[in-house]
């Protein structure tokens, strides 16, 4: 996902270019706005964390771009490309270093396992929307 901060700040193009240059294939993509209910569902795994309310509020505060990306070893490769959760700790040149505002408003989301990538892909896309 490209998160609401990066969409509002005009970084969709820059982030997609970097994803493209890193060799990911786009399998599915759309722009949408999550309701608080759907954002809460997406991040249900973080329900007990102190920042859950803030996270749900932020993720439903504006438009996002959701995408399914394909590459060998995609989960690890994408997490390398986006950098650490907190942009202050992200490596130079990573998407979060370039575009994130803070640990909460951190520009992009990447799945943390192949299993969660499949679940998250199905959260946003039907079979007819994957190519
Ligand atoms: P990720 O896998 O790198 O996205 O990081 P996590 O799975 O640990 O956290 C999920 C998301 O919750 C992060 O991308 C942030 O948007 C948000 N988050 C994590 N830690 C904090 C925090 O301390 N404060 C706030 N406001 N948000 C946080």
Residue-level pLDDT, tens digit, the chain, 131 residues: 999 999 999 999 999 999 999 999 999 999 999 999 999 999 999 999 999 999 999 999 999 999 999 999 999 999 999 999 999 999 999 999 999 999 999 999 999 999 999 999 999 999 999 99
Angle between helices 114-124 and 74-82 (to 10 degrees): 80
Integer Cα distance of 110 and 81 in angstroms: 10
Separation in Å, CA 27 to CA 12, 67, 71, 82, 99: 17, 7, 10, 19, 23
- Sorted by where each begins, the domain ranges of the chain are 4-129
Residue nearest to atom 27 of ligand 1 (CA): 104
CATH (one of 3.30.70.141, 3.30.465.10, 3.40.50.300, 3.40.190.10) for 4-129: 3.30.70.141
Say how many Å lie between the CA of residue 103 and the centre of ligand 1. 6
Residues carrying an active site annotation: 109
Ligand 1 residue neighbourhood (C-beta within 6 Å): 46, 51, 54-55, 85, 103-104, 106, 109, 112
Report field, pTM of the whole predicted structure over 0.75? yes
Measured in Å, residue 128 CA sits from the centre of ligand 1 at: 31
CA 56 to chain centre: 14
């Amino acid at each position: 996902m490209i998160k609401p901060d990066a969409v509002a700040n005009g970084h969709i193009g820059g982030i997609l270019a970097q994803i493209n240059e890193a060799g990911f294939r786009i399998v599915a993509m759309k722009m949408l706005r999550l309701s608080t209910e759907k954002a809460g569902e997406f991040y249900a795994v973080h329900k007990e964390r102190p920042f859950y309310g803030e996270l749900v509020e932020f993720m439903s505060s504006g438009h996002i771009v959701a995408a399914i990306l394909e590459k060998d070893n995609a989960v690890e490769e994408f997490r390398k490309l986006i950098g650490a959760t907190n942009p202050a700790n992200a490596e130079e040149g990573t998407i979060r270093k370039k575009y994130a505002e803070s640990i909460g408003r951190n520009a992009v989301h990447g799945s943390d396992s192949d299993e969660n990538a499949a679940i998250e892909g199905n959260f946003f896309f039907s079979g007819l929307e994957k190519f």
